[in-house]
Amino acid sequence: MSMHASSPGGQPGRMGKPRTRISAADESAQRAENAEAPKIPHLMRRIAELFAPHKGALTATIVLVLVSAALSVIPPLLTERAFDEGLFPVGADGQVMGPNLPVLTTIVVAMLAVFIVSSLLGVWQTWLTATVGNRVMGALRVRMFTHLQRMELSFFTRTKTGVIQSRLQNDVGGVASVLTNTVSSVLGNTVTVLAAFVAMLLLNWQLTLIALVLLPVMVIAQRRVGQVRARIAAKTQESLSEMTAITQETLSVSGILLSKSFTRQRSEIARYSDENDNQIALQVRQQMTGQWFFAMVGIFMSAIPAIVYLASGWLITGGTTDISAGTIVAFTTVQARLLFPLMALMRVALDLQTSGALFARIFEYLDLRPAIIDSPDAHPVPAGADAAGRSLLGRVEFDHVSFRYPDADHDGRPTLDDVSFAIEPGQYAAFVGPSGAGKTTVSYLVPRLYEATGGAVRFAGVDVRDLEHESLVSNIGIVSQETYLFHASIAENLRYARPDATDEELEAAARAANIHETIASFPDGYDTVVGERGYRLSGGEKQRIAIARVLLKDPAVLVLDEATSALDTISERVVQAALDDASRGRTTIAIAHRLSTVVSADVIFVVVAGRIAERGTHAELIAQGGVYASLYRQQAEQPEVPTA
């Protein structure tokens, strides 16, 4: 019996089997939704809070910036003194005299001292800002990774891995320069601009008004340019997400095997190339947006000295002010020093507007609330006993449990509907039934990878919602159909269950899983690198290593989710023997498609359309002549297909 069609978004395509790919319609909607940055309240305040742990370094940076900015005002004033008192001093009679070398030497030495001190302070300031910026970025990246680790399983079934990777790498990396440079740049350039403005006023207020008359227009134009760049930045990051997703999907071992099997390499190259062209176009648009604005600003600022010369001539001719040559030179020097920090401030403002889109995407993920969290009074799994003195550890109970996947069609029937059963410690329980009946969903609810919609799931006599999730999962071992091994050595993959396991314990677990002799036959033994997802090993070898890994964990409950369904007959027998050994002395929940693997189970539950239709031992169910007997007869009549 097949399940109703699930809603878009990567929800299970059949009961209990979540898909990792999302539909084309949902993908299009997702891209449209992300075309612009999400609206995050108090965004700038939250960005500022990222710097809170570094108040000491920021205070030192602010002091250095203020000192550097104050020093930056001194050279132009010394320049005026150098011209008016050193190079062209005026005598008592008002006549220009020859250079006053002692005064000029003193002024030049003072200028050199200011330059040296300013440079040393700049190096110190750069080190502080680089340290703070990179630490904030690193903390942000770890914070996001930690938060994603807490997200429920359904989040990952409806989100592309490549998209998650892009948020973690591209988006956080995209704000690195802003985090590194913003503090010093904003403070330093702001103070420098204000100091230069004060110096210009001290030199001549009329020339100052002429030099700064168009600044308000430039500020307004800069804000408009920033808004455009922010929108382009959001689209650029979305394109990067898509490129990362394509790379992750097509260049993994599974993806490359699929594309080669169907000779789809050219179409995959075309898909990547198209998105790459889109990325190039967006990057060029982002770089070019505002270039005409900055070009006009540059022309205006560069033309100001000539305008100052002309205005000075008018003022002197009109007799409204007494402007010396030193004043004019000093003023144009200050104005030149105003140009670069002012341009830098405008660029930082643009970068902040652009990075705001990236920060919004980052905070959007950080604001996601995990659907499964520990309750305030959650406690570890108890090791108590019942009234008869029997240990409750390993007891699993479903009490009128109903469940439907988060985005499933609420008008359709639930995946599990009023399911009740109890498995005692040490029992071997099997769940069988037609494809899509909801068997695997049972294995998801026991370790609380999903939350039951109704009823209660109890472990060791306690509702799983009252238990610490980490403690619950530490008492459950899972061997699934799709074994996942890291691109590392066999020993490292085994120690994933217990990092402190000794070599002897690894060997004991491998022997119990009937894989030690195979590992010993490899040239590198336990140091053999298994390749991505274990592709250098056969299916049976991977499954037995997965069993050995679970045995190292030594859980009270073992969940076997169709652990042998993808294996050939010979491998199945070897792995099944290892599973039989692994299940001894512990509660075992087996989700089985091949009924021949569970004939020895203590109790078999037959699941049909989300309900338990039958229960009993193999002999009892065969005698009933119901659904189980029909399924067993059908499988027994199917000819064995030889596997190469």
pLDDT tens track for 354-364: 677 778 878 88
The region that residue 427 occupies, defined by phi over 0 for left and psi between -120 and 50 for alpha, beta otherwise, is beta
Domain shared by 423 and 507, yes or no: no
Question: Nearest-CA neighbor of 546 among 527, 569, 524, 530?
Answer: 530
Q: How confident is the model at residue 24 (pLDDT cuts 50, 70, 90)?
A: very low
CA distances from 460 to 416, 426, 557, 599 (A): 22, 12, 10, 26
The H or E element spanning position 365 is helix 325-366
| Residue 240 amino acid letter | L
**Helix axes of 325-366 and 215-250: crossing angle, nearest 10 degrees:** 40
Which single residue is written with the structure tokens 């959001």? 234
Q: In terms of Cα–Cα distance, which of 415, 611, 439, 434 is closest to 1?
A: 434
pLDDT score at 18: 38
Q: How far apart are CA 501 and CA 483, in angstroms?
A: 21
Identify whether residues 51 and 155 lie together within a single domain: yes
Is residue 253 domain-shared with residue 337, that is, in the same domain? Answer: yes
Q: Are residues 489 and 453 in the same domain?
A: no
Average pLDDT over residues 356-375: 83
One domain, residues 452 and 496: no
What was the pLDDT predicted at 548? Answer: 87
| Residues 173, 104 share a domain | yes
Distance, in Å, from the CA atom of 338 to the CA atom of 358, rounded to the nearest integer, reads: 30
In a domain, 7, yes or no: no
For residue 399, the tally of other CB atoms under 10 A from its CB is 15
CA gap 454, 404 in Å, rounded? 9
CATH number of the CATH domain containing 517: 3.40.50.300
Give yes or no for a contact between 557 and 589, defined as CB atoms under 8 angstroms apart: yes
Residues in contact with 149: Cβ distance below 8 Å, sequence separation at least 6, in sequence order: none
Q: What percent of the chain has pLDDT over 90?
A: 5
**In angstroms, what CA-CA distances link 598 with 181, 381, 539, 616, 637?**
64, 29, 20, 12, 17
Across 376-402, average pLDDT? 79
Kindly write down the DSSP assignment for every residue of 419-463, as one continuous string: EEEEE-TT-EEEEE-STTSSHHHHHHHTTTSS--SEEEEEETTEE
Within-domain flag for 496: yes
Strand partners, 90: 96
CA atoms of 145 and 151, how far apart (whole Å): 10
Lowest-pLDDT range of 38-52, 99-113, 507-521: 38-52
Which domain covers residue 106, as residue numbers? 43-366
In a domain, 184, yes or no: yes
Residue labelled with tokens 């950080």: 366
Instruction: Say yes or no to pLDDT of 16 above 60.
Output: no
* Residue 439 sits in the same domain as residue 356: no
For residue 541, give both structure tokens.
């070898």
CATH of the domain at 120: 1.20.1560.10
Highest mean predicted confidence (pLDDT) among 187-196, 332-341, 427-436: 427-436
Indicate whether 386 belongs to any domain. Answer: no
Q: Are 494 and 549 in contact (CB under 8 A)?
A: yes
In a domain, 34, yes or no: no
Residue 447, token pair as written in the block: 């370790």
* φ, ψ of residue 613 in degrees (nearest 5): -85, -35
**Helix-strand-coil percent breakdown of the chain, rounded to 5?**
60, 10, 30
- Could you identify the residue written with the tokens 């909607």? 29
How many Å apart are CA 195 and CA 198, to the nearest integer? 5
- Which tens digits make up the pLDDT trace of 264-314? 777 778 877 888 888 788 878 777 766 666 676 667 666 667 777 777 777
Tell whether 110 and 241 lie within a shared domain: yes
The values of phi and psi at residue 215, to 5°, are -60, -45
**What is the number of structural domains in the chain?**
3
Q: How far apart are CA 257 and CA 253, in angstroms?
A: 6
